Amino acid sequence: MSKIHVMSETLANKIAAGEVVERCSSIVKELTENSIDAHATNIKINLKKGGLEAINVIDNGEGMDATDAHLAFQRHATSKIIHDDDLFFINTMGFRGEALPSIASVSEVELQTSDGPTSTYIHIKGGEILEEKSASLYRGTELTITNLFYNTPARLKYLKAENTELYNTLNLVEKLSLAHPQIKFSFTNNDKILLKTSGSGNLLKTIHEIYGLNVSNKMLEFKASNNDFDIYGYICKPEILKSNRNDISTFVNDRIVHNAEINRAINDAYYTYKPEGKYPVVILKINTDPTLVDVNIHPTKQDIKLSKMNDLYDLIYTTIKNCLYNNLLIPNALKEESVSIIKDSVIADIVNNMTKDEPPKVQTELDFKIAVDNSNNTPELKTSDEVIVNREMKSLTLYPVGLALGTYIIAQNDEGIYLIDQHAAQERINYEKYMKALRNKIFATTYLLIPITVELSASDYIYLKEHINILTDLGFVMEEFGINTYLVKAHPSWLLEGHEEESVHKIIDLILGGLTNFDPAKFNESIAITLACKMSIKANYNITHEEQEELLNELVLCDNPYNCPHGRPTIIKFSIYDLERMFKRVMN
C-alpha cells in the first residue's frame, strides 16, 4: 500500500513559506532526515567537492514502492502529515513535502529505491522526469544530486566555496550522529572519509568517534528532569574549550535545534569557568511533550520556540552548574595521546585551505541565530550551601614547596605536583569573598579616623551626586565637602585592609564609567571582579611559605577553585604518572 498521502492545499500553503533548499548542508539535512524517518540504521553521505559537484545519500531504510517514489517528487506529497492538526504533533524529523520536489526542480536527481519486493529508478532534471524504470537495489534508498542550481544562476552564486559548504555539512552530520547514536553514519568528501560512527547506541562512544579521546575523556555526564522536561547529555571540563559555538549541540526530541535561551542557560552555567569568547563542547538532549514545542517558526526547523522556557532554563542551568561544581576539574599538564581524531586533521585541512576572506566561522542556518553570549547578563549565582557541598576538591591537601618566577606556587601531594598561578588564585578567593558580602548584603561599616577625600571634576561630581545612593546602599558614609569634593567617612568592612582608599576610587570609577541602565547584580559583579583583580597579589611578589599555605587552603574551599573570575585556570597538575612518562621511568 502506498504510504505517501498528498497534503491538503491549506496545509501546503502553511508550510510552503520559506525556502528549504539554500545550502549543500540543507540538502544533506533533508535527505538524511528522510532516511532517519525511513528507519535506516546505516546512512552513508558522500560529497564531491563539498557537495557542489555531487551529493549522494544511501540508506538501508524501508524504501518506497513505485507509486511512492513517483509521488515523492510531487509538491506537497508527504508521508508524515495528513491533517492540519498534525502540525502540532510533529514528532518525526522531516515533514515538508516539498523538500524533494524543491531539490529536483533546481538540480538533477537520480533516485533508486526498493521496499523489498519492488525496486524503482527515477531520473529527474529541473523537475522533468527523464527516465523511470524498475531497477535492482537491496532494500533502501539512494539519492544522487548533481548540477545543483544549474537553472537558477542567482542562487548558485549564494553557494559558498567548497570548504565552507563542506565545513557546514560536516558540522551537520556530526550533530545528526550525536542525535542518533544508534545509527551508523559515514561521511566522505572526494572519497576521503571525514566521519564514521559505529551506531553503537552509546552517546559517549559517538562523542569519542567524532572528537577523539582527548575530548571524550574530559566529558562529564549529566541527567535531570522536572515536570515537563528530561535532559541528558555530556558537558566538557573547562580545559577543553573551542573558539566557536559549533560544538554546542542541542536537541529537542532528537531534532537538532537552535534556541537562544537554551544556549544562554549553558553559557551562564559556565560563568567564570571559561573566558569570554571560548565555548565548551556540549551535547544536550531534551525530551518533552511535543505539544510544548513550536517548530514552525523557521523553515529550516532548527529554530524552535518552547513553552515553559523559564523552567527549562533553570533545569539546564542548575544541572550543568552542579555537574561542574561536583567534579574535580584540575587540568592535567599533559594531554592524552589522541587516538582517532580524524576531525581535528580534517578541520585543520579545511581551515588551511580556506582563503583569507573565508574564515572558518560561517554564518549559516547552522550558526546560532541570535547572539547568545549574554556576557553582560550576569547570571544569579547560587550560594554554595544551595549546592551539594561535599566534593573531592575540598578535601584536597596541597603542600607548598616554593614559589617559582615570583608567580607560580609549586605544591605537591601524593598524587603529583601542582602549579598554582598565585595572582589568579588570590583573585578567585577575593572575588568569592566580595560576591558573598555583596550578595548577602553584609554591609557592616568601618568608620575612618581620617576620612578619604575624593576630588572630582565638576561634571563627575554632579553625576556622582545623582547616583550617590549606590554608594550609600553599599554601606559608604559620604559627605559633601567644599567644591566638587566628597569625604568618605565610613566604608563597608569587607574592603581589603590597607587598600581601602584604592578600593573607594575603583568603585567610584565604576559608577562614573557609565550606568545608563543601572543593574545592581551587574554592578556587584563588576565591583567584585575589579577589586579582586586589583587587590590580589601582583605577580613577582614573593609571599612566605605560610602565606602560600593559607592561599592554597583558601583556594580549595572556593566554589570554583579552578578558574579566576575571568575564566583563566588557577591550577594545573602533573600527575606522578605524567612525570614518570616524561622521565621515561615508565614507557608507553
* Residue numbers at the binding site for Zn ion (CB under 5 A): 427, 533, 564, 566
Host H or E run for residue 165 = helix 162-179
In whole angstroms, how close is the CB of 572 to Zn ion at the nearest point?
A: 15
Q: Which is nearer to Zn ion, 283 or 429 (CB)?
A: 429
Q: What is the largest CA-CA distance in the chain?
A: 99
| Beta strands 229-236; 219-225: pairing state | antiparallel
Cα separation, 568 vs 366, in Å, equals 29
By the 10 Å C-beta count (0-12 exposed, 13-18 middle, 19+ buried), 579 is classed as: middle
Q: Which is nearer to Zn ion, 247 or 427 (CB)?
A: 427
In whole angstroms, how close is the CB of 426 to Zn ion at the nearest point?
A: 9
Other CB atoms within a 10 A radius of the CB of residue 323 amount to 18
Answer for the pair 537, 554: CB distance below 8 angstroms, yes or no: no
In whole angstroms, how close is the CB of 568 to Zn ion at the nearest point?
A: 5
Q: Which is nearer to Zn ion, 488 or 528 (CB)?
A: 528
Q: Which is nearer to Zn ion, 56 or 430 (CB)?
A: 430
Q: Which is nearer to Zn ion, 416 or 565 (CB)?
A: 565
Q: Which is nearer to Zn ion, 429 or 564 (CB)?
A: 564
Q: Which is nearer to Zn ion, 382 or 566 (CB)?
A: 566
Any long-range contacts for 216-224 (C-beta under 8 Å, 24+ apart)? Answer: 217/336, 219/281, 220/323, 220/324, 220/327, 222/319, 222/320, 222/323, 223/319, 224/315, 224/318, 224/319
Our CA angle for 477, 480, 485, nearest 5°, is: 110
Cα separation, 123 vs 4, in Å, equals 20
The terminus-to-terminus CA distance of the chain in angstroms comes to 61
Q: Which is nearer to Zn ion, 176 or 533 (CB)?
A: 533
Answer for the pair 355, 161: CB distance below 8 angstroms, yes or no: yes
If you ran DSSP here, which 8-state letter would residue 130 be given? E
In whole angstroms, how close is the CB of 13 to Zn ion at the nearest point?
A: 56
Cα separation, 536 vs 258, in Å, equals 40
* SS3 state of residue 189: strand
Cα separation, 41 vs 543, in Å, equals 62
In whole angstroms, how close is the CB of 513 to Zn ion at the nearest point?
A: 18
In whole angstroms, how close is the CB of 529 to Zn ion at the nearest point?
A: 8
Answer for the pair 282, 266: CB distance below 8 angstroms, yes or no: yes
Q: Which is nearer to Zn ion, 144 or 426 (CB)?
A: 426
Q: Which is nearer to Zn ion, 81 or 429 (CB)?
A: 429
In whole angstroms, how close is the CB of 420 to Zn ion at the nearest point?
A: 13
In whole angstroms, how close is the CB of 564 to Zn ion at the nearest point?
A: 3
Half-sphere exposure in the Cβ direction for 376 (13 Å, CA): 5
Q: Which of 108, 140, 138 is nearest to 124 (CA)?
A: 108
Q: Which is nearer to Zn ion, 143 or 532 (CB)?
A: 532
User: Phi/psi at 345 (nearest 5 deg)?
Assistant: -70, -35
* SS3 state of residue 571: strand
Q: Which is nearer to Zn ion, 107 or 563 (CB)?
A: 563
Compute CA distances 136 → 33, 54, 85, 110, whole Å: 23, 22, 38, 14
In whole angstroms, how close is the CB of 533 to Zn ion at the nearest point?
A: 3
User: Phi/psi at 280 (nearest 5 deg)?
Assistant: -80, 170
Radius of gyration of the chain (CA): 29
Any long-range contacts for 498-505 (C-beta under 8 Å, 24+ apart)? Answer: 499/534, 499/535, 500/446, 500/448, 500/452, 501/452, 502/534, 502/535, 503/531, 503/534, 503/535, 504/452, 504/454, 504/476, 505/454
In sequence order, which residues have a C-beta less than 8 Å from that of residue 435 and are 6 or more positions away?
381, 524, 525, 528
* SS3 state of residue 87: helix
Q: Which of 189, 69, 51, 75 is nearest to 137 (CA)?
A: 69
Q: Which is nearer to Zn ion, 189 or 422 (CB)?
A: 422
- Please state the length of the chain: 588
Q: Which is nearer to Zn ion, 341 or 543 (CB)?
A: 543
Other CB atoms within a 10 A radius of the CB of residue 139 amount to 15
